[in-house]
Structure 1
Amino acid sequence: MAKTIVKLPSYTRRVAVKGGHAYYWELPAWARPTKDPRTGRSVPAVRHEKPCPVVSTALGTDHNLAVEKAEALNEALAQWRKGAVGKELKPGTIAWLFQWYRGQERYTRNKPKTQKDYRRLMDMLCEFPSKFGPLGGRLAAAMDGESADALYKKLRETKGEREASYAMQVSRLVWRWAARHKRTTGVKDNPFAGMGIKSIAAGETRETTRAEYDLYRQTAREMGWQSMATAAAICFEGCQRVSQVFGFWGEDEKDQKGKVKPAGLQWSIYKPAVAIALTQRKTGNPVWLELTDDIDGETVQLYPELERELQLSMKVAERDRFGRPVGQIILMETTGQPYEPGWMAKVHRKICDKAGLPREMTFTGFRHGGITEIGDSGEADVRPISGHKTLAQTRTYNKATAEKGRRIALKRREHIDQLGEREGGKASRPGSRDKEDDR
């Protein structure tokens, strides 16, 4: 009797088990994760600046269901390989629903920034990995309350409370509008309604203390994430926004001269032991950070922690033919590419968990902590450092100058000295060095 040949989808294998067969889908060699020789961590394969959205998966024992799942995985893998995710959308899927919503007046009437924020969250949800490929490939009408709750839980674990909350709010808007047009969308119910999620106001961000900031940087270095330690220093010491430091904005964003803005902070803004020149992307205000000052003939370092982290990152920076560091300051050690918001949040959470830091400690909290520290030192006007346009504390509009910026830095260093004993040791004097950094 001739042996029956069962044709299976690519990368799928069948294994004989008691009572029948089990099916498995395995990533091809070119798409499998690799091991970072320095940290020992598993690093996903990257194509078109996006990590592989699927993993090797057990498909069960039902032949027809296994074939269906394997074909979906192969389609997701092919789309990722070609960089064509979202270009050819199957009607009724979540990705298709988001695209449909973007064409509605309900969406287009929003301000450009709001539209951009919605698009970012929709894209994040479409690419979010589920058991059988990216979430965008699932049928929108198949989402129910339990699925929405499970998605929210996973988002909180991987991307943080704020990102998860905003993603659910946007989904609630989309599904509510889709249910009103059920003959077009096929969506009859809104699974994201009634979840009891409260909006998170920007003012509720928990500020990070200096002791937590110090422990975070030390842990990040020990884990091989020097870039995250440097980013935290820029946010805390320079009171910079997270999007400014990491470059979390669209590739098509342009400056006043019509030129496309480079992603993130570039090495060209930094002159060691002299100054850092910044421009607040949100307000357009310039920020000039003097790094040293002469006091009674002695040179005093105003931001020794910040310079220390920048110097460590500079050691691995790309150089031009004159030996000067070039390109973006904050790049992932594993890929040499800029961080994606979701991946940054995931690395941040790993560092916090390793250090035993609070779960509610967000990266935005570094900026808030730095501004709070300036206020605690006795300075009410933080604009020379933070780049704000107006004062929240007073109605007086004082001109922000470089001289005032130096005064703030000196007063801040005096405040740090007066803190006395901190976790891990005494507060550092201006220009002093932490022992764990002398390596």
Structure 2
Amino acid sequence: MGKAIVKLPAYVTRLKLASGQHAYYWKLPSWATVKDPKTGKRAPAVRHGFPCPVESCALGTSHDAAVAKAEGLNETLREWRLGAERRTLKPGSIAWLFNWYRGLERFTDLKPKTQRDYRRLMEIVANFPTRAGGKLGNRLASDMDGETADTLYLKLREKGEREAAYAMQVCRLVWKWALRHKRTTGVKDNPFAGMGIKSTPAGENRPTTREEYDRYRIAARDLGYQNMAAAAALCFEACQRVSQVFGLWPDEAAIEEGRAPPAGLQWSVYKPGVALALVQRKTGNPVWLDLTIDVEGETVQLYPDLEAELQDLRQRAARDQFGQPTGPMIVDERSGQPFEQRWMSSVHRKICNKAGLPKAMTFTGFRHGGITEIGDAGEYDVRPISGHKTLAQTRTYNKATAEKGRRIALKRREHIDQLGEREGGKASRPGSRDKEDDR
């Protein structure tokens, strides 16, 4: 069979590097530039009174990231080429304001996916029908008031709470910057400020229960995704952020320079049978998570499920690397590289379907569920484990310590045993035998 042909977006080329990886490059078409008769160099062409807003650039080595960025560049290039929107927009109107914002560096510096989401939400607002039979986008942005904003929000909520909330957040951001440039925009206040809309709509990240967490790991192992079972354990047991575990934080510099994608938690932070010692990337706070503790001369495991998953994963990594595992813990088994977010989400949904778990169960829900379990155990300061920076603005008076982290772990084990969620009160791994049974 011949090799499958991968269709790339327009103006994208793929080159093979000396390392064996493929790098992607977006090249501005020649019709979007003109030759300067004085210098002989090519400069951006001008259409409809505006110079071409994009230029050739490297897209990095990640296929998915390269495609997403190229699609955003092509959309911007198309808008500039057609210029129809600029010719028909009424100066000072809401549609004009959205277009003005999309020309700001604050917008063009956003990730391509974020740009697409913003464009879509702006279109929803601009095309919203008014009582007079027109479109909201034709109204003057300066005439928008709080009452109209509230009515718009209520109407959009009928189609979906989450999308309505995001649309209002985008409008609030646009009007915020319009207010800073009021001599250009004519906007004198922000009608979308003070609406009391949460950044994260209610119900987006429901806490995962321990029973769901157990079922998820069993299904993940059955499907051959030990990496996902271990990742779930790191988020639920160790209360770590998904971005920290998978390395899903943005690294535009790495993408631009064609370097490897950012990695998540490294094997170097894991001391088997001793502790997890890491630094939270988001807050910079150190986290020391004891895995065992001595009680009257006996070693007690504080996180047996977490250790079991990590040990299985570590053995596999050691076999693949022919020795002591190094690099990131959680990698895509197909490539040995950190997960692409889209593929990670696909695998997560596949595991949930296998386990019969609800669609509303996000990976972030594991961290939420772990923190909720700690609260149910009677400990509300989760910072020694999660790495949070503050606790209701009382960090000065309530310092996080390693001793507090051990106390949290012990209380949590007691709470789990009291719930009877482990057969015989033992914290054995679901689907596996106790060590004593193996003897």
Shorter-normalised TM range: 0.5 to 0.7
Which one of the candidate residues 165, 168, 171 is aligned to 1:199? 165
Give the distance between the partners of 1:253 and 1:74, measured in 2 at CA.
Answer: 23
Per-residue deviation, residues 16-73 of structure 1 (Å, max 9, x unmatched): xxxxxxxxxxxx8334xxxxxxxxxxxxxxxxxxxx854xxxxxxxxxxxxxxxxx88
Over 3 Å counting, the alpha-carbon distance change for 1:198 and 1:435 in structure 2 is same
Q: Which amino acid aligns with 1:351?
A: I
Which one of the candidate residues 417, 421, 426 is aligned to 2:423? 426
Q: Is the 8 A contact 1:232 1:363 kept in 2?
A: yes
Q: Is the 8 A contact 1:53 1:128 kept in 2?
A: no
Q: Once the 2 structures are TM-superposed, how far is the Cα of residue 348 of structure 1 from its aligned partner?
A: 0.5
Q: Does 1:87 align with 2:26?
A: yes
Give the distance between the partners of 2:14 and 2:373, measured in 1 at CA.
Answer: 50
Pairwise mapping of residues 140-151 of structure 1 onto structure 2 (< 5 A)? none
Q: Once the 2 structures are TM-superposed, how far is the Cα of residue 92 of structure 1 from its aligned partner?
A: 11
Q: Once the 2 structures are TM-superposed, how far is the Cα of residue 74 of structure 1 from its aligned partner?
A: 9.5
Q: Does 1:326 align with 2:323?
A: no
Q: Does 1:172 align with 2:145?
A: no
Per-residue deviation, residues 215-237 of structure 1 (Å, max 9, x unmatched): 00110010011101101100111
Q: Once the 2 structures are TM-superposed, how far is the Cα of residue 127 of structure 1 from its aligned partner?
A: 2.6
* Residue number in structure 2 paired with 1:151: none
Which segment is superposed worse, 196-205 or 238-247?
A: 196-205
Q: Does 1:373 align with 2:373?
A: yes
Pairwise mapping of residues 385-396 of structure 1 onto structure 2 (< 5 A)? 385-392=385-392
Unaligned segments of structure 1, at least 5 residues: 1-27, 32-51, 55-71, 94-103, 108-118, 143-162, 180-188, 255-259
* Residue number in structure 2 paired with 1:436: 432
Per-residue deviation, residues 227-270 of structure 1 (Å, max 9, x unmatched): 0110110011110001100111345779xxxxx99611111111
Per-residue deviation, residues 283-338 of structure 1 (Å, max 9, x unmatched): 10000000001112211000000000000111121579994221110011122111
Q: Once the 2 structures are TM-superposed, how far is the Cα of residue 166 of structure 1 from its aligned partner?
A: 6.2
SS at 2:329 equivalent: coil
Q: Which amino acid aligns with 2:378?
A: G
Over 3 Å counting, the alpha-carbon distance change for 1:297 and 1:361 in structure 2 is same
Q: Once the 2 structures are TM-superposed, how far is the Cα of residue 207 of structure 1 from its aligned partner?
A: 0.7
Over 3 Å counting, the alpha-carbon distance change for 1:324 and 1:282 in structure 2 is same
Give the distance between the partners of 1:416 and 1:213, measured in 2 at CA.
Answer: 13
Which one of the candidate residues 115, 119, 127 is aligned to 2:67? 127
Which protein is bigger by CA-based radius of gyration?
A: 2
Give the distance between the partners of 1:320 and 1:214, measured in 2 at CA.
Answer: 27
Give the distance between the partners of 2:12 and 2:424, measured in 1 at CA.
Answer: 52
Unaligned segments of structure 2, at least 5 residues: 33-49, 54-58, 83-110, 128-136, 139-155, 167-198, 255-259
Give the distance between the partners of 2:357 and 2:416, measured in 1 at CA.
Answer: 21
Over 3 Å counting, the alpha-carbon distance change for 1:167 and 1:321 in structure 2 is closer
* Residue number in structure 2 paired with 1:355: 355
Give the distance between the partners of 1:332 and 1:321, measured in 2 at CA.
Answer: 15
Give the distance between the partners of 1:318 and 1:175, measured in 2 at CA.
Answer: 51
Per-residue deviation, residues 84-104 of structure 1 (Å, max 9, x unmatched): 5452145999xxxxxxxxxx9
For normalisation by structure 2, the TM-score amounts to 0.58
Q: Once the 2 structures are TM-superposed, how far is the Cα of residue 411 of structure 1 from its aligned partner?
A: 0.2
Q: Is the 8 A contact 1:419 1:427 kept in 2?
A: no
Q: Which amino acid aligns with 1:407?
A: R
Percentage of matched positions with identical amino acids:
55
Q: Is the 8 A contact 1:226 1:312 kept in 2?
A: yes
Give the distance between the partners of 2:241 and 2:286, measured in 1 at CA.
Answer: 14
Give the distance between the partners of 1:211 and 1:235, measured in 2 at CA.
Answer: 15
Per-residue deviation, residues 343-377 of structure 1 (Å, max 9, x unmatched): 11111111111111010110111111110000000
* Residue number in structure 2 paired with 1:22: none
Give the distance between the partners of 1:331 and 1:357, measured in 2 at CA.
Answer: 23
Q: Which amino acid aligns with 1:302?
A: L
Q: Is the 8 A contact 2:15 2:24 kept in 1?
A: yes
* Residue number in structure 2 paired with 1:212: 212
Q: Is the 8 A contact 1:385 1:405 kept in 2?
A: yes
Q: Is the 8 A contact 2:238 2:385 kept in 1?
A: yes
Q: Which amino acid aligns with 2:367?
A: R
Q: Which amino acid aligns with 2:310?
A: L
Q: Once the 2 structures are TM-superposed, how far is the Cα of residue 169 of structure 1 from its aligned partner?
A: 3.6
* Residue number in structure 2 paired with 1:270: 270
Over 3 Å counting, the alpha-carbon distance change for 1:177 and 1:318 in structure 2 is farther
Give the distance between the partners of 1:236 and 1:354, measured in 2 at CA.
Answer: 19
SS at 2:276 equivalent: strand
Q: Once the 2 structures are TM-superposed, how far is the Cα of residue 437 of structure 1 from its aligned partner?
A: 6.4
Q: Once the 2 structures are TM-superposed, how far is the Cα of residue 429 of structure 1 from its aligned partner?
A: 2.3
